[in-house]
């Protein structure tokens, strides 16, 4: 995300020169930054700021207020802000109190940092005079959060509160996005000062790097080298990650792929960057990527990584990843270049700018990759996703395949973490970016439900579905009540296999069926009754395949918050799977996906088809 227009920053603020409390300044800067929704839980150290929200809303007409959504827990608030940010591209905001309020936010802050999500967390802190005395609800927020945020501010100078909040937004959305934490002592919130209406803190090194990135121009020799490598290639493949979505570069990616007719694989967080129904889309690669995507990675001779970072769930055995390929890497973060996988070409720039520059530089480039695309089509036809279609038990894959027929790739989907997450990534189509929201690097169970709330509030009128698992939804189950409290029309689809399915799968494959801690059949939770108790107007449980389609159609059509539980096969596994410490050549396809003979692997750069 870029900063606000310079003209807006240059115009004199109508409240400039007004005397305000620090808390009032915080809320005014939020409003100036375009924030209309905040998530959070109150407490003593943050009460001045919550009071400022109340007074701000009382002073503004209907439709101009700042909506405050109070969750069941602070962690829920963090994931709501993250869902809001992921679904909108705007900075998500959550506000909590000191001590446990702040420490409950460590997980969402780390989750956002790992997945490059722009959020600002404002924490209350004990008064400056009490800091370091182990005062009531004191926690060393700066020390704790510094290890897991893009940046942390502790505001000890009340004259800098306004500039600090404004700078936090700029840091969160610029460059490689991420979470910024602002820790504000209670007495700083209560202090009186003059509102300036403009100004940021000077972060000289960071500001210089951002200016350089913003004004970067693709050097001719760098462009020529890229197209030399592409010209020598017979089997190019684009590997697109979450950086494409973060930089709003989906249109540029699609245009680039179409212009040069190059197939595309995406990471988990890159899903939606390419329309998954496109002939050039191979969907997801990696540990649970489609077999044909992974086979394409084995076969390609030129891999163009865009906004992706070769993480372990994608690269597996790094030396064996894309074994016959030259590697090109475009990324906004210079530290990612060569960090995991050596490259033959690199350019540090955001994906939107970089892809557009490359496309312009390659206007005269011509090469026919039709034989490679024919090979890709054969991979898709020979090795499609599949599952046990004969079982009397409901299969999660079938649930999602039917849901996909109903939504046609137009829903915003959030997930928890586990088997249901991977099946959703495999079996659902996504035509648009910012429509598949999931916890990638951290793999945080409990993400799906609160993230769906944030996504729905960022996209009123859109169909938002939380595809969740029984283990994952338990982590933030209290947010069911948040849905009904605010009448937020999220659809919650619970795939209940009475256990931690992904853990069970590993225990099946690598631990001789020793289900230590993962079997939940003894649990007494009745999710349907829980949803009814929380006031859901639509609540239903499906136990048989013949009930599935009708229930899903009714569920999707329902206008308010809806809850559908589907009891699924406890022993089903997610395939394909590349096990821990294994390479793509070791991919397990299971009983229902056709593997290929190793003699079919194309590794000779000059081989034909």
In whole angstroms, what is the distance from residue 438 CA to residue 457 CA? 17
The pLDDT of residue 608 is above 60:
no
**369 & 420 share domain:** no
The SS3 of residue 337 is coil
**208 & 227 share domain:** no
Full-model pTM: 0.94
CATH code assigned at 562: 3.40.50.970
pLDDT-derived band at 264 (thresholds 50, 70, 90) equals very high
Q: What is the pLDDT of residues 101-135, one digit of tens each?
A: 999 999 999 999 999 999 999 999 999 999 999 99
Give the residue numbers spanning the domain of 57: 6-213
**420 & 534 share domain:** yes
**202 & 225 share domain:** no
So what's the pLDDT on residue 451? 98
Structural domain includes residue 289: yes
Domain boundary among 382, 407, 435: 382
Q: What is the pLDDT of residues 464-495, one digit of tens each?
A: 999 999 999 999 999 999 999 999 999 999 99
Structural domain includes residue 387: no
In whole angstroms, what is the distance from residue 311 CA to residue 116 CA? 14
So what's the pLDDT on residue 609? 34
pLDDT-derived band at 599 (thresholds 50, 70, 90) equals low
* Structural domain count, the chain: 3
So what's the pLDDT on residue 316? 86
**263 & 357 share domain:** yes
The pLDDT of residue 607 is above 60:
no
Instruction: Locate all alpha helices (DSSP H) within 123-273, ordered by sequence.
Output: 141-146, 161-173, 186-190, 204-214, 220-232, 242-246, 250-260
**207 & 317 share domain:** no
**479 & 461 share domain:** yes
Structural domain includes residue 584: no
For 443, the token pair is 């793999």
Confirm if 179 and 172 have CB atoms less than 8 A apart: yes
Structural domain includes residue 491: yes
Q: What is the pLDDT of residues 525-535, one digit of tens each?
A: 999 999 999 99
**220 & 345 share domain:** yes
Structural domain includes residue 534: yes
Q: What average pLDDT does the chain have?
A: 94
Looking at 89-98, 418-427, 428-437, 572-581, which range is the least confident one?
A: 572-581
So what's the pLDDT on residue 580? 84
Q: What is the pLDDT of residues 303-356, one digit of tens each?
A: 999 999 999 999 989 999 999 999 999 999 999 999 999 999 999 999 999 999
Domain boundary among 160, 185, 213: 213
CATH code assigned at 325: 3.40.50.1220
Distances (CA, A) of 405 to 284, 292, 383, 430, 552: 19, 22, 21, 12, 10
Structural domain includes residue 341: yes
In whole angstroms, what is the distance from residue 388 CA to residue 591 CA? 8
The pLDDT of residue 1 is above 50:
no
Q: What is the pLDDT of residues 14-30, one digit of tens each?
A: 999 999 999 999 999 99
Structural domain includes residue 575: no
**238 & 186 share domain:** no
**405 & 547 share domain:** yes
**202 & 258 share domain:** no
Q: What is the pLDDT of residues 489-504, one digit of tens each?
A: 999 999 999 999 999 9
Confirm if 548 and 542 have CB atoms less than 8 A apart: yes
So what's the pLDDT on residue 604? 45
Structural domain includes residue 580: no
In whole angstroms, what is the distance from residue 352 CA to residue 70 CA? 35
Domain boundary among 191, 213, 235: 213
Q: Element (H or E) spanning 185, and its range?
A: strand 179-185
**200 & 254 share domain:** no
**Span 277-302, mean pLDDT?**
97
Beta pairing partners, 577: 588
Sequence-distant (≥ 6) Cβ neighbours of residue 528 within 8 angstroms = 539, 540, 541, 563, 565
């Amino acid at each position: 995300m870029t900063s606000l227009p310079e003209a807006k920053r240059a115009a004199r603020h109508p409240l400039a020169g007004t005397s305000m409390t620090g808390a009032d300044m915080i809320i005014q800067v939020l409003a100036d930054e375009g924030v209309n929704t905040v998530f959070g839980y109150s407490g003593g150290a943050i009460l001045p700021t919550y009071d400022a929200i109340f007074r701000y809303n009382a002073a503004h007409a209907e439709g101009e207020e700042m909506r405050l959504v109070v969750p069941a827990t602070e962690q829920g608030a963090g994931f709501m802000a993250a869902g809001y940010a992921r679904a909108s591209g705007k900075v998500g905001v959550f506000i909590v109190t000191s001590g446990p309020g702040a420490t409950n936010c460590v997980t969402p802050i780390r989750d956002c940092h790992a997945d490059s999500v722009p959020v600002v967390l404002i924490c209350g802190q004990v008064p400056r005079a009490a800091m370091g005395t182990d005062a009531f609800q004191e926690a060393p927020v700066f020390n704790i959060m510094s290890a897991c945020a893009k940046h942390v501010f502790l505001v000890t100078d009340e004259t800098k509160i306004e500039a600090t909040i404004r700078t936090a937004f700029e840091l969160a959305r610029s460059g490689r996005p991420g979470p910024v934490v602002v820790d504000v002592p209670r007495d700083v919130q209560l202090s009186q000062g003059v509102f300036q209406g403009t100004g940021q803190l000077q972060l000289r090194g960071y500001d210089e790097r951002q200016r350089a990135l913003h004004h970067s121009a693709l050097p001719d020799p760098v462009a020529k080298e890229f197209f030399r490598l592409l010209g020598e290639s017979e089997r190019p493949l684009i590997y697109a990650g979450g950086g494409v979505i973060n930089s709003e570069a989906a249109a540029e990616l699609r245009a680039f792929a179409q212009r040069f007719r190059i197939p595309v694989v995406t990471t988990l967080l890159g899903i939606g960057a390419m329309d998954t129904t496109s002939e050039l889309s191979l969907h997801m690669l990696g540990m649970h990527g489609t077999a044909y995507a992974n086979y394409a990675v084995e076969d390609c001779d030129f891999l163009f990584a865009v906004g992706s970072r070769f993480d372990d769930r994608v690269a597996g055995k790094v030396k064996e990843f894309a074994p016959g390929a030259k590697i090109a890497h475009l990324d906004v973060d210079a530290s990612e270049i060569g960090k995991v996988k050596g490259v033959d070409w690199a350019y540090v720039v955001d994906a939107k700018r970089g892809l557009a520059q490359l496309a312009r530089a390659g206007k005269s480039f011509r090469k026919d990759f039709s034989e490679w695309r024919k090979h890709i089509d054969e991979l898709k036809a020979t090795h499609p996703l599949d599952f046990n279609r004969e079982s009397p038990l409901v299969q999660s894959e079938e649930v999602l395949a039917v849901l996909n027929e109903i939504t046609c790739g137009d829903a915003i989907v959030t997930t928890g973490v586990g088997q249901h997450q991977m099946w959703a990534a495999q079996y659902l189509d996504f035509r648009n970016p910012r429509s598949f929201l999931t916890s990638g690097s951290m793999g945080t169970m409990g993400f799906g439900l609160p993230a769906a709330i944030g996504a729905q509030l960022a996209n009123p009128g859109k169909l938002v579905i939380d595809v969740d698992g029984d283990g994952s939804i338990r982590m933030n189950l209290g947010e069911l009540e948040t849905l009904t409290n605010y009448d937020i029309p999220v659809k919650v689809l619970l795939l209940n296999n009475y256990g931690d399915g992904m853990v069970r799968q590993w225990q099946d494959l690598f631990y001789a069926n020793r289900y230590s801690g993962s079997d939940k059949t003894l649990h007494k939770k009745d999710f349907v009754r829980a949803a009814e108790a929380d006031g859901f107007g639509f609540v239903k449980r499906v136990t048989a395949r013949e009930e599935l389609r009708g229930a899903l159609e009714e569920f999707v059509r329902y206008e308010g918050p809806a809850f559908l539980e589907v009891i699924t096969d406890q022993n089903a596994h997610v395939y394909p799977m590349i096990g821990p410490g294994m390479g793509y050549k070791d991919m397990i396809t299971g009983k229902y996906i056709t593997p290929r003979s190793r003699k079919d692997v194309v590794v000779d750069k000059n081989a034909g088809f």
